[in-house]
Amino acid sequence: MIFTNRSSAGELLGNQTVTTNYRHYSEFELNFLTIGSIIVQILSFFIAFFLPMREITGSIFSQRKVTTMREQLEAFLKNLFDIDILLLVPFHIFAGMYVAFLLTVYPTTVLFTSDFATYRDLVGYICMALAVGEIASKD
């Protein structure tokens, strides 16, 4: 059996009585959303590029020293290899794997069990609850 975006959950599970209410986007809609996103990104790039520089008289930032790209890279590399930062690397790797599991694998597994097949927004609810729990549990 070839799985397409037009397959219903009943066809995939071998049960013809189960259907889903997912929205299937047409090719035009996908192109429209993609092109719209690209246009917004390009506009934001130009807005950021043409923002006032610090050398403009009367600008708020004109009183601060202008940092060059080289100075920024040197500061970044100096801080990147600092021992305190390197000690945090395993923690961030673990936290990233933990959050990735909780926001992708776990909700999808719960959604595809036969008991929860009728709750189409269950993944969203689980992700919102996990996000609130992550924020609330921070010290």
> How many helices (H) and strands (E) would you count in the chain?
6, 0
CA-angle at 60, arms to 54 and 66, nearest 5°: 30
Whether residue 116 contacts residue 106, with contact meaning beta carbons closer than 8 Å, is answered with no
Domain ranges, ordered by start, for the chain: 1-51, 82-139
What phi, psi does 31 have (nearest 5°)?
Answer: -65, -40
The pTM for the full model equals: 0.35
3-41 pLDDT tens trace = 445 555 555 555 555 555 677 788 999 999 999 999 999
Q: What confidence score (pLDDT) does residue 40 get?
A: 96
30-73 pLDDT tens trace = 999 999 999 999 999 888 888 766 666 777 766 777 778 899 89
Amino acid in the structure at residue 59 = S
CA 128 to each of CA 8, 21, 68: distance values in angstroms, whole numbers, following the listed order: 26, 21, 41
